[in-house]
Amino acid sequence: MSDTKKFLFVNRKAPYGTIYAWESLEVILISAAFEQDVSLIFCDDGVYQIAKGQDTSELGIKNFSPTYNALGDYDINKIYVEKESLDARGLTVDDLLKLTYEDEDDDWAEKDSIHVVSSAELAEIMDQQDVVLSF
Amino acid sequence: MPMLHTINKSPFERGALESCIRLATKGSSVILIEDGVYGATKGTNASSMVENAMKDLSFFVLGSDLKARGVDESRLIDGVTVVDYSGFVKLSVENDKVQSWL
Amino acid sequence: MKFGIQINEGPYTHEASTTALNFVSAAIEAGHEIFRVFFYHDGVNNGTRYTTPPQDDRNIVDAWSDLAQKHDIDLVVCVAAAQRRGIVDEGEQERNGKDGNNIAPGFRISGLGQLIEAGIQSDRLVVFGD
């Protein structure tokens, strides 16, 4: 019997004001080593975590946003962003980091990891998971 | 696959209850714990949101957290079920998984 | 059922740890098994033995240590989060050149993999946080 579970990581908080965004990313990266079926959701203020153009140089806090680019290399490519959350914040997918992965089943073609989905679609995705981690 | 959603903050402090209601699928359960119990009270700006959601979702509230805050059960929205910790555990067993809206 | 528990906040400031304690106690009473309690973010602060809460209030750290001892529960404090916040056992004290350690009885420091493993091995993972 397979030990593979559908793991869902839910990100709903903005970066830097609290450490949750960064420390949840650390869990997500570790999860890659366990070969589980990992999905990430960014909704509510969580969409800000993957906004592009983050520059923390005047704060003295580490800018961890480049680390999201590594997710594709770790086979974490099911990244769902709620459209309603983007709209409410005046954002579009163009304001987000371009996260991609190489699809080994398609001649290593580079594909987008981020899927902007509606609330209804996101609800269905959440429902299909086995275990949900929140931070 | 019904889910148990937990909400631990007041709807006047955080958007968690609103987001949960937006994203929970029909047949799921929501348990209000800690400061989240205020979301179960009637006559507030959040009450109609909860009352409407009750068409699709079952609402529960942790009795110990109500008592701690001096919220009498008579103030609860009709249809919200008060449970104790063993009831909370039971809900987590009866649903397929638990999602905490922090 | 086997429960995995994740606690994201420290003692006292947030109700999370107390709610988790009460939940775990109720689960045990109902005959369930606690696979692991994993302390992350500020939750690692539940693992210091140097708290001195007022006499007339609960002692959260002791409550976890007692529960762990009574029911053989695995209390794990995340090493990365612990290093950030200064929760230290003897191994960490030596590795990082600290002049002491403060881990409470019944707690052990280990990696984030323990949380993922709890998610895999448990029937239910319940998260308590802010």
- Whichever domain contains B33, its CATH number is 3.40.1260.10
Q: For the full predicted model, state whether its pTM sits above 0.95.
A: yes
Residue C129 has a pLDDT of 98
**Whether pLDDT at A43 is above 70:** yes
The reported pLDDT for the residue numbered C119 is 98
Indicate if the pLDDT at residue A2 is higher than 70.
no
Q: Say whether A34 and C117 touch across the interface (CB within 8 A).
A: yes
Mean pLDDT in residue range B12-33: 98
Q: Does C82 touch chain A (CB under 8 A)?
A: no
Mean pLDDT of B66-70: 98
Q: Chains with ≥3 Cβ pairs under 8 A against B?
A: A, C
Closest listed residue to residue A8, CA positions, set A112, A131, A123, A114 = A131
Which amino acids of C are annotated catalytic? 78
pLDDT digits (tens, 9 = 90+) for C86-114: 999 999 999 999 999 999 999 999 999 99
Whether C40 sits inside 8 A of A31 (CB atoms) is no
pLDDT grade for A1, boundaries at 50, 70 and 90: very low
- What are the angstrom distances between the C-alpha of A130 and each of A7, A133, B7, B98, C112? 6, 10, 19, 9, 19
Domain boundaries, chain A: 6-134
Cβ neighbors of B72 (< 8 A, separation 6 or more) are B66
SS (H, E, C) chain A: CCCCCEEEEEECCCCCCCCHHHHHHHHHHHHHCCCCEEEEEECHHHHHHHECCCCCCCCCCCCCHHHHHHHHHHCCCCEEEEHHHHHHCCCCHHHECCCEEEEHHHCCEEEECEEEECHHHHHHHHHCCCEEEEC
**Do C80 and A26 lie within an 8 Å CB cutoff?**
yes
ipTM over 0.85? The verdict is: yes
Closest CB to B23 among A123, A134, A135: A123
Nearest to B25 by CA among B49, B48, B50, B58: B58
Are residues B100 and C1, on separate chains, in Cβ contact within 8 Å? no
**Between the CA of residue A78 and those of B45, B102, C95, what are the distances in Å?**
37, 22, 37
- Chain B nearest CA to C126, separation (Å): 6
Listed by number, the residues of chain C in 93-122 with a beta carbon closer than 8 Å to a beta carbon of chain A are: 111-113, 115-117, 119-120, 122
**Mean pLDDT per 10-residue interval, chain C, length 130 residues:** 98 98 98 98 98 96 98 98 98 97 98 98 98
Return the structure tokens found at A1. Answer: 């019997």
Average pLDDT, integer, range B33-41: 98
Predicted local distance difference test score (pLDDT) of residue A3: 73
Domain housing B25:
3-101
Domain count, chain B: 1
pLDDT in tens, A56-111: 999 999 999 999 999 999 999 999 999 999 999 999 999 999 999 999 999 999 99
Amino acid at B76: L
The DSSP element (H or E) to which C71 belongs, if any, is helix C60-71
Per the structure, the count of domains in chain C is 1
Class of domain A6-134: alpha beta
- What's the CATH number where C54 sits? 3.40.1260.10
